[in-house]
Amino acid sequence: MTVQELRKKTDEQLKEVLSELRETVRDMRFQLVTRQLKDVKSLKKAKKNISRVLTIMKERELNEQSSDSEK
């Protein structure tokens, strides 16, 4: 998922994506331990996507705070 696609989503949609990604990472960790995970790079990609979502959520939070303080 690209950053542009994530930025178009609402806060609720971002929370859903975040929970799905966290569940995916959890499942991948189990697969990694049991040696069932074939593509180890996919775990790293999922973690980066989690970071992207969290960053966008934090940016929005800071933008709201700054706009509230200006009023």
Separation of alpha carbons 32 and 46, rounded Å: 14
pLDDT at residue number 71: 63
pLDDT at residue number 24: 97
pLDDT digits (tens, 9 = 90+) for 15-55: 999 999 999 999 999 999 999 999 999 999 999 999 999 99
For residue 11, what are the contacts with CB-CB under 8 A and spacing of at least 6?
A: 57, 60
3-state secondary structure of 36: coil
Separation of alpha carbons 59 and 28, rounded Å: 28
pTM of the model: 0.88
Domains and CATH numbers, the chain: 3-66 (1.10.287.310)
How many CA atoms does the CB half-sphere of 8 hold within 13 Å?
A: 5
